[in-house]
Amino acid sequence: MTRAAVGVLALALVLAPAGSATDQARLSVFAASSLTEVFPAIDRGPSYSFAGSNQLAFQIRQGAPADVFASAAPSYVHELFRDGLVERPRTFAANALVLAVPRSNPSRVRTMWDLRDKNVRLVVGTATVPIGDYTRRVLRRLGLTSILDKAVSQEPDVKSIVGKLALAEADAGFVYRTDVRAASGRLRAVSIPAWAQPAVRYQVAVVRASRSRAAARRYVESLSTPRAKRLLRNAGFAVP
């Protein structure tokens, strides 16, 4: 490269708008594990980290390099917003709970009440992860909290529950409606009465510490496009 070309390049770098380089960097999106299949379908560009929403919120508090946070429960993202760690959150999807059983359904679970009346190996989420909190709300409304004594495992995220059910390591477990659809026939869903369903809302926000906030805002906006809404609906989510 000639000396003149080097000078031109250096001048271009000096005059480039602040943040332009970081806006081209690959976004880091922290998202609830129930979004594992649908988010890459919407946008394959970002680097995704899927886990329990509580774990991801904790990592953001500890300074993990996230640009966007998508939570399966509003409480986690609202707490980060209250503490000034994320921008104002918005709702982009909703979901519902089901009782899932392996395709072979060895314990012949057909209704919620079978959990009380049959010897069932149950798997649930821990109380601190959204799926576990929603599960306990459902059981309280149905008067079935005693069945938690049958839990053989309490998992850190919903995909861990799905995995145990798909491998027939448990007879039943509470997951999201979308997880059964994503399981490609390995699971069956037992419906939960509508009046016992919690309001499962997904919210997303830009992380204030992001070095690519303009790109992160564009990503958040993209979740409200007609294409994104179509893909969310196809995956079993409800959209605003």
Q: What is the CATH number of the domain that holds 144?
A: 3.40.190.10
The model carries a pTM of 0.87
Same domain, 217 and 190: no
Which pLDDT belongs to residue 21? 38
On whether residue 171 sits in a domain, the answer given is: yes
On whether residue 53 sits in a domain, the answer given is: yes
Query: Residues 89, 240: contact at Cβ < 8 Å?
Result: no
On whether residue 7 sits in a domain, the answer given is: no
Furthest-apart CA pair in the chain: how many Å?
83
Which pLDDT belongs to residue 13? 37
Which pLDDT belongs to residue 42? 97
Give the mean pLDDT of the chain: 90
Domain span at residue 229 reads 24-94+201-234
Same domain, 67 and 122: no
Which pLDDT belongs to residue 69? 98
Residue environment code for 59-72, b if the CB has 16+ CB neighbours within 10 A, otherwise e? bbeeeeebbbbbbb
Same domain, 44 and 71: yes
On whether residue 10 sits in a domain, the answer given is: no
On whether residue 58 sits in a domain, the answer given is: yes
Given a cut of 70, the residues of the chain with pLDDT beneath it are: 1-25
Same domain, 139 and 224: no
Which pLDDT belongs to residue 6? 40
List, in sequence order, every residue forming a beta bridge with 122; answer none if it has no partner. 151, 172
